[in-house]
Amino acid sequence: MRIEDTLWLGYKDLGEKRVRTALTILMVVIGVAAIVALISLTAGISASIQDSLNTLGPTSIILSSNRPTGFTLTDTEGIASLPNVSSVTPVVEGSGTFTAAGVNTSVTVVGISEQGLVGLLSEVNLYSGTVYNDTLTPSAILGHSVAFPSTSGGIQKVSPGQPAALTINAGRTGGTTYTIPVVGVLQPYSSLIVPVDTSILMSLQAAEELLHRTSFNIILVKADNASQVGALTTTLTNIYGNNANVFSTQQIAQQVNQIVGSITFLLVVVAGISLLVAAVGIMNIMLMSVMERTHEIGIMKSLGFTNRQVLSLFLTQALLIGVVGGVIGIAVGMGGSYTLSTLASHSGSSPNSTGTASGTPSRPREGGGGGVIIGSGAGGSPGSSTSLSFSPVLTVSTIIEALVVAIGVSAIAGIYPAWRASKMEPIEALRQL
């Protein structure tokens, strides 16, 4: 029997039981779509985190103070004197309310030198304007979400040269409002160290003056080369003990890979259960098809059909279910992954924005515990947030593997019913009227 005849007969039988066939295919679609979406999403998140860490470079070490007094110039000078240290950049961080064009936005106020800003962002990509100068007079560049607040539908509300106000300790008695010249607006950034998109960045001296700080929240240290990072991290940990959190971008990358890998494995196992259910469904529909077509099988065998031909006929039905379900599942998984990533990005794009003056940021802790370490996890200051957008990473190998899994599961599920049909005796089958 020709291959096209086998395919036609398999398709014809499935088409006669459309509802049952559609439900079986749906089970395959759900399993494949879940696998494709989960793998592409976790790969996208991992890639986005890696890109954020790469902006700092593999030689970077971050110190976050756990002391109420924070870090001082003595700390920066002491770290700079250590062997294998290339540069030391102090960072001051606090919170405030930024007002421009009638829109109030809760922001993270970041003070860092112009040179340090380049080290932090790897490259300062401006949407418009210029970078501030290292002067005591406050002038600032805005994170993209501050200039394009989500409460205004992502429309630009602040441009360089436009008057704007920054209120420190808003909502508390004695809150102070400063007029801040805006000199630039940044392109969108995904950053795990400083929430750039929701920040207003200025010189270190200006931030210390506005925030009334004499200490630093964060110190960014660069080693001479990547091979020295581990030893330098250990040295700094021994020096500060519990007074500071010390970690390198290399450590973060390793931890991220381990966590994402574990989560991916767990989610794929959960999605695999859906395919297991689909396999049971395929086996069920195939067994029902064999029982319903017992008399037909007897006629085919009496006309000269071999066991192998009958086996291939029923196995083809299972393969058709796998192919159709796999293709549809891949398409659904791709669409679902992009939809979920878009929703996740919108839900976390500007968590501190408020449309009216009623938005009241919490008071940052004085001195230490800056909220700049991965989602403010290390004693983060209230009101700060990490902006992390990502896109799904869907590779050709993922698509091929998902389709192969769908076809393989369907084939395995159809082997027993097809074997049972092929071993049926013609005389016994013809008696089943």
The pLDDT of residue 371: 38
Residues in the chain: 433
pLDDT in tens, the chain (433 residues): 566 655 666 566 666 677 777 888 888 888 889 888 888 888 888 787 777 776 677 788 888 888 888 898 899 999 999 988 888 999 998 888 888 877 888 888 999 998 888 878 877 889 999 999 888 888 889 998 888 887 777 788 888 988 788 888 755 555 788 888 899 999 888 666 678 888 999 999 999 988 888 888 889 888 888 888 888 989 999 998 888 888 887 787 787 778 878 887 887 787 778 788 888 888 887 787 777 777 677 777 777 777 777 777 778 888 888 889 899 999 999 998 888 877 776 554 433 434 333 333 333 344 444 433 433 333 333 333 444 567 788 888 888 988 998 888 888 888 888 888 777 776 665 666 5
Spatial distance between the Cα atoms of 114 and 203, rounded to a whole number of angstroms: 7
Average of per-residue pLDDT values in the chain = 78
Smallest CA-to-CA distance from 361 within 2, 104, 33, 12 is with 104
Residue 83 DSSP class: T
Q: What's residue 352's pLDDT?
A: 40
> Which tokens go with 301?
């065998």
Question: For residue 358, what are the contacts with CB-CB under 8 A and spacing of at least 6?
Answer: none
- Residue 12 is predicted with a pLDDT of 65
Residues 294, 299, 302, 303, Cα dihedral to 10°: -140
pLDDT tens-digit series, residues 169-182? 755 555 788 888 89
| Residue whose pair of structure tokens reads 């590779």 in the numeric block | 395
Q: In the structure encoding, which two tokens stand for residue 247, read together?
A: 């970690």
125-128: long-range contacts (C-beta < 8 A, 24 or more apart)? 125/186, 125/187, 125/189, 126/184, 126/185, 126/186, 126/187, 127/184, 127/185, 127/186, 127/187, 128/159, 128/160, 128/184, 128/185
Is the CB of residue 200 less than 8 Å from the CB of residue 107? yes
Take residue 315 and report the two structure tokens written for it.
């196995």
Largest CA distance in the chain: 100
Give Cβ neighbours of residue 107 (< 8 Å, ≥ 6 apart).
95, 96, 97, 98, 143, 146, 166, 198, 199, 200, 352
Which residues 6+ apart lie within 8 Å of 427 measured at CB? 298
Q: How far apart are CA 380 and CA 101, in angstroms?
A: 29
What is the DSSP code (8-state) at residue 301? H
Residues 6+ apart with CB under 8 A from 77: none
